[in-house]
């Protein structure tokens, strides 16, 4: 019997040496008029043309893959806006709009159904049970699948249990998936995982991801140190790098990111050399950044993995001396974010 032929993202990974993902969702929606504190997912129903513009902006800048506007479209987060019963619908509509836009292009564009964290702490630290988290993620995954998403894209997770619950939710919906965690506490996720520990976690998942990696976090330098940590485990699973466009700054009541298109081009090139195959941006990354990143990747000749010194000299200093693997990383408490500032 012939083996099944790869399709969607798996086929793209077979046919291309690297894939350009999209940039920020929040940043670009704020630029389109979203107000701070509003749920961007509600725009899937009330401002469809702006969501279409969001998706087109990434594709026209050269992205091969974009995330749906559904980061917080789960029952737990939507409850903050009295819209918890719309979780499936808002997820479905985000993917339907994405499918419509992607299919209008002659080249292959992957619609990645975005699934963000619940915003709750899981037992025993919090009140959310593992089975409850699976139910929340399964509900959202079913909506994304119904809307035509090619896969589930789990992102900005900090907890191992929540990551596993999201993977199980995608599995119950019979969706292929990718997953990224946010390493923002001296080389670790907020809940203490290091890059090598995430690789070990991936190996435990019955439904293996198409790719995995890191997103958001502190800055591009820190994120690439994490990508190097993945690659040094000799994992064969493709890696994802979606770093922020520089460091957040506060100005006139708004947060913006100071990374220029030139800096993000250098980040993309270094991400490729660090072992990432799917490369995009997170908070602060606009189509202008993506356009420059695409050009840089297209003209780049692959090099040996960069040293930490080279990453620092090119992109700026690390936020901590530790990469999380020496046992000296600090722990800290903070409030859960409604949405990555993206």
- How many whole angstroms separate alpha carbon 281 and alpha carbon 29? 15
List of residues 6+ apart from 37 with CB closer than 8 A: 338
Torsion of Cα atoms, 278 then 282 then 287 then 291, to 10°: -40
Q: Are strands 19-20 and 110-115 parallel, antiparallel or unpaired?
A: unpaired
pLDDT of residue 86: 98
pLDDT of residue 47: 98
pLDDT of residue 341: 47
pLDDT of residue 327: 72
pTM for the full predicted model:
0.94
> How many CB atoms sit inside 10 A of residue 18's CB?
18
Torsion of Cα atoms, 95 then 98 then 103 then 106, to 10°: -140
Q: Are strands 248-251 and 254-257 parallel, antiparallel or unpaired?
A: antiparallel
- How many whole angstroms separate alpha carbon 52 and alpha carbon 29? 11
Q: What is the pLDDT along the chain (342 residues), one digit of tens a residue?
A: 454 556 799 999 999 999 999 999 999 999 999 998 999 999 999 999 999 999 999 999 999 999 999 999 999 999 999 999 999 999 999 999 999 999 999 999 999 999 999 999 999 999 999 999 999 999 999 999 999 999 999 999 999 999 999 999 999 999 999 999 999 999 999 999 999 999 999 999 999 999 999 999 999 999 999 999 999 999 999 999 999 998 877 776 677 788 999 999 999 999 999 999 999 999 999 999 999 999 999 999 999 999 999 999 999 999 999 999 987 655 443 334 444 546
Evaluated on CA atoms 267, 273, 279, 283, the torsion sign reads: negative
pLDDT of residue 248: 79
pLDDT of residue 4: 54
pLDDT of residue 308: 97
- How many whole angstroms separate alpha carbon 181 and alpha carbon 213? 7
Residues in the chain: 342
pLDDT of residue 55: 98
Q: How many helices (H) and strands (E) does the chain have?
A: 13, 12
List of residues 6+ apart from 295 with CB closer than 8 A: 265
Q: How far is CA 183 from CA 139, 178, 229, in A?
A: 27, 17, 11
The beta strand positions in the chain, using DSSP E, are 19-20, 65-67, 110-115, 151-157, 177-181, 183-185, 188-189, 211-216, 239-243, 248-251, 254-257, 276-281
């Amino acid at each position: 019997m012939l083996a099944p032929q790869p399709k969607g993202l798996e086929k793209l990974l077979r046919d291309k040496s690297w894939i350009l993902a999209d940039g920020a969702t929040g940043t670009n929606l704020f630029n389109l008029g979203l107000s701070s504190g509003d749920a961007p997912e509600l725009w899937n129903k009330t401002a469809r043309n702006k969501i279409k513009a969001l998706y087109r902006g990434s594709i026209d800048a050269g992205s091969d893959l974009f995330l749906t506007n559904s980061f917080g479209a789960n029952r737990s987060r939507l409850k903050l806006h009295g819209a918890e019963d719309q979780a499936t619908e808002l997820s479905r509509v985000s993917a339907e709009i994405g499918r419509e836009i992607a299919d209008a292009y002659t080249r292959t564009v992957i619609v990645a159904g975005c699934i963000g964290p619940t915003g709750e702490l899981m037992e025993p630290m919090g009140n959310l049970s593992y089975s409850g988290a699976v139910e929340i993620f399964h509900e959202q995954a079913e909506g994304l699948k119904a809307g035509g998403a090619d896969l589930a894209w789990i992102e900005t997770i900090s907890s191992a249990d929540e990551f596993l619950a999201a993977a199980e939710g995608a599995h119950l919906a019979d969706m292929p998936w990718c997953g990224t965690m946010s390493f923002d506490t001296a080389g670790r996720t907020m809940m203490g995982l290091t890059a090598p520990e995430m690789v070990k976690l991936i190996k435990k998942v019955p439904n293996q991801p198409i790719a995995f990696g890191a997103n958001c976090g502190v800055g591009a330098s820190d994120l690439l140190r994490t990508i190097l940590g993945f690659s040094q485990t000799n994992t064969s699973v493709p890696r994802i790098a979606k770093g922020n466009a520089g460091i957040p700054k506060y100005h006139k009541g708004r947060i913006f990111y100071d990374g220029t298109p030139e800096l993000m081009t250098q980040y993309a090139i270094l991400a490729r050399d660090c072992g990432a195959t799917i490369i995009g941006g997170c908070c602060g990354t606009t189509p202008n950044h993506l356009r420059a990143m695409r050009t840089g990747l297209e003209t780049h000749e692959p090099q040996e993995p960069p040293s930490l010194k080279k990453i620092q000299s090119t992109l700026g200093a690390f936020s901590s001396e530790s990469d999380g693997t020496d046992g000296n990383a600090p722990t800290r408490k903070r409030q859960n974010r409604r949405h990555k500032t993206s």
